[in-house]
Structure 1
Amino acid sequence: MIDSHAHIYATEFDADRDDVVARAKAQGIQKILLPNIDLDSISPMLETEAAYPDVCHAMMGLHPCYVDGNVDQTLKTIESWFDKREFIAVGEIGIDLYWDKTFRREQERAFTTQLNWAKQRDLPVVIHTRDSIEETLALLNAEQDGSLRGVFHCFGGTLDEAKAINDVGFHLGLGGVSTFKNGGMDVVIPHLDMQWVILETDCPYLAPVPHRGKRNEPAFTSLVAEKVAQLSETPVSDIDAITTQNTLSLFNLSL
């Protein structure tokens, strides 16, 4: 299995990061993919990748919740990193209208700008949406020239939204929300095309049942896989194999 979206560079893991990675390996998690969020996360993310080079792989991008009035300068700094070294994706980027709509226009500009980085560099995109799937899809469709690919991470939407995401050529990242009793995914997952699904934790957030409300970690990817297998009436070994291959192909990785 692969945890396609994990923030194990966060301070929540400073006390036991080695143990967290060891537990992930013990559960069969072979890769942990690290999305960037802002300027301050770059150093700890790259240090974490360097500490576990066979397991961790870094992305580069600006998360919408960290977009502000200084977005143009921040984007220049973020983009400069692509000239310094390789990254597996542009991410995580997107639109978040849940907490604050003050910088909505700046979020949209940052999203479009980073989509164009992905096109220029032939990289996949990792997209964060909250209360914004329709708005995000509109911007993505406007930029889709056939080369954009990626994933809507932490997907918890409707079947129609899932189909719209797949129609624009993007995968669905399933995580802890898939295990929540009232998450709504029990009526969606049985109808998903598993060729478009990858697994994630988004740790330290959104821990799956039975750990809901506690710190999430990559080892819990196996719990997500088990729930997806149960809901889709598919052997968990098949879910592991399919989602792993989907992730390797999307991010151009090998085991």
Structure 2
Amino acid sequence: MAFKCATDVFKLENGVGIPCIGFGTWQSPDDVAERAVCEAIEAGYRHIDTAAIYRNEKSVGRGIRASGVKRGDLFVTSKVWNSARGYRTTLEAFEKTLEDLQLDYLDLYLIHWPASPSRFPDWREVNLATWQALTELYKAGRIRAIGVSNFRPQHLEPLLAAEVKPMVNQIEYHPGYLQQDVVDYSRAHGLVVEAWSPLGCGRVLNDPRLETLARRLGVTTAQLALRFCLETGTLPLPKSVSAQRIRANLDVFGFEMPGDVVAAIRALPEFGFSGQDPDKVTF
């Protein structure tokens, strides 16, 4: 896909545009998240991704304000955590997130993980009740778009019959772990797919096969992995607290990825998976 800068967008089903690369804040400690977010925005990111369970929303909010960039020029995502699943508890969690971020609205709000059949006999009802809360917030104009994270086809299916369908599915996606069945199903139903851990939390960056491909293109393995996401129509959310790497991760628009390189990455056997299977996680 022809993304040429960080402010190019993926278009959602409702017409909202999401900047094509986001700055992730998972595992960014509260005491450094403010600086990292501010540096990311200064570097050119306009899309910030956080979540209640990251326990850094207050710092993320301070970083947004310290950047001096107008709120309307930023796209901010957060997520409702598992302990808040359900209708009323999701509404309460949303208010807490806005308070912590010190924002008047969110651009995107996601169900962080599905209630799955392996743990919840009434998993459909739990997910639908959570979704009802997101839908009401969306219809009230307090969220510009709503979606899910870590949902597989069986988790998504009940929500696709809802009044408002999910617009985004954020999943683990990186070289060595593509979840193509989830990607294909999501896209077939109009969802934009976002990639959390697009660098495999660093697990894939020293892979000799990726290093060889990166050397051929004159880029780093991180840049290769992030450009691969964009070339395959998936929105990457790289995270770093290093100013140098924050900028390097955004420098993925000055080279093209030949079709044989994309094919070689697609053909890699599975590796680098976090082990966080939505049907088996215990949190």
TM-score category, normalised to shorter length: 0.5 to 0.7
Which of the residues 112, 117, 129 maps onto 1:93? 112
Matched, 1:58 2:86: no
Q: How does 1:196-211 map to 2 (within 5 A)?
A: 196-201=233-238, 203=239
Distance (whole Å) between structure 2 residues aligned to residue 109 and residue 59 of structure 1: 20
**2:52 counterpart letter in structure 1:** I
Stretch deviating more after TM superposition (191-200 or 109-118): 191-200
Say which of 166, 172, 182 aligns to 2:193: 172
Q: Is the 8 A contact 1:34 1:56 kept in 2?
A: no
Q: Which residue of 1 aligns with 2:14?
A: none
Secondary structure, counterpart of 1:95 in structure 2: coil
| In 1: Cα distance, 2:122 partner to 2:63 partner | 31
| % identical aligned pairs | 7
Tell me if the contact between 2:229 and 2:236 (Cα under 8 Å) persists in the aligned partners: no
Question: Aligned to 1:85, what secondary structure does the other structure show?
Answer: coil
CA offsets 1:155-180 (integer angstroms, 9 cap, x no match): 34433322211111111223224983
Q: In the alignment, does 2:148 pair up with 1:127?
A: yes
Paired residue for 1:250? none
Deviation, structure 1 residue 233: 5.0
C-alpha separation in 1, matches of 2:88 and 2:256: 41
Q: Which runs of 4+ in 1 moved over 6 A?
A: 81-84, 189-193, 223-228
- The residue identity in structure 2 corresponding to 1:165 is S
Is the alpha carbon distance of 1:199 and 1:61 closer, same or farther for their aligned partners in structure 2, counting shifts above 3 Å?
A: closer
Q: State the distance in 2 between where 1:230 and 1:199 align.
A: 19
CA, structure 1 residues 44+112, in 2 after alignment: closer, same or farther (shift >3 Å)?
A: same
Q: 1:12 to 1:192 in 2, by over 3 A?
A: closer
Q: Aligned-residue CA RMSD in angstroms?
A: 4.9
Inter-partner Cα distance in structure 1 for 2:231 and 2:52:
28
Distance 2:246 2:122 in 1: 32
SS for the counterpart of 1:59 is strand
Q: 1:36 to 1:141 in 2, by over 3 A?
A: same
**Structure 2 runs not aligned, ≥5 long:** 1-5, 7-18, 214-225, 263-283
Is the Cα–Cα contact under 8 Å of residues 38 and 63 in structure 2 kept in the other structure?
Answer: no
Report how far residue 72 of structure 1 moved: 4.9
Secondary structure in 2 matching 1:140 = helix
Q: 1:21 to 1:167 in 2, by over 3 A?
A: same
Unaligned runs of 5+ in 1: 206-213, 235-255
- Quote the Cα distance in structure 2 between the aligned partners of 1:178 and 1:233: 22
Q: Which has the larger radius of gyration?
A: 2
- Which residue, 251, 254, 257 being the options, matches 1:229? 257
Number of aligned residue pairs: give it: 210
Query: Which residue is 1:36 aligned to?
Result: 51
Residue aligned with 2:257, SS: helix
Contact kept? 1:61, 1:90, Cα under 8 Å: yes
User: Is contact 2:145-2:167 (8 Å) kept?
Assistant: yes
TM-score, with structure 1 as normaliser = 0.57
